[in-house]
Amino acid sequence: MYRDKAIGIALLVLSALVIVAYAWLVFLTKYSIVVLKATAFLAVAAVFGILGWVGYALATTPPPKPIEEIEKEVEQALREIERQMQEQDKGQAQQQ
């Protein structure tokens, strides 16, 4: 619990420092245009990087099994369980 709070406080302080530094760079230095261009580039790159990752995941993930095939597997598993239970019942009846 203490570690979580420490990490949370560190993230809060770091975020505040980055905001102040960004504001200083944008409004009080001669590099404001460069900073804004870099920010815009990083934002666009992040959005399209995530979009590309989603596209890659969709393209490389195999399609799911048809529901009919899954139903058949479930039915077979249930039949097997029922068979095992019947065998156990027969074994217990013979022991008595």
Per-residue pLDDT of 56-85, as tens digits, reads 999 999 888 889 988 999 999 999 999 888
Question: How many CB atoms neighbour CB 68 within 10 A?
Answer: 8
Which carries the bigger pLDDT value, residue 91 or residue 34?
34
Which band of pLDDT confidence, cut at 50, 70 and 90, is reported for residue 87?
Answer: confident
Residues 24/28/33/36 CA torsion (nearest 10 deg): 20
Helices and strands in the chain: count of H runs, count of E runs: 3, 0
Which carries the bigger pLDDT value, residue 89 or residue 12?
12
- Whole-angstrom Cα distance, residue 40 to residue 7? 29
Residues 6+ apart with CB under 8 A from 32: 25, 26
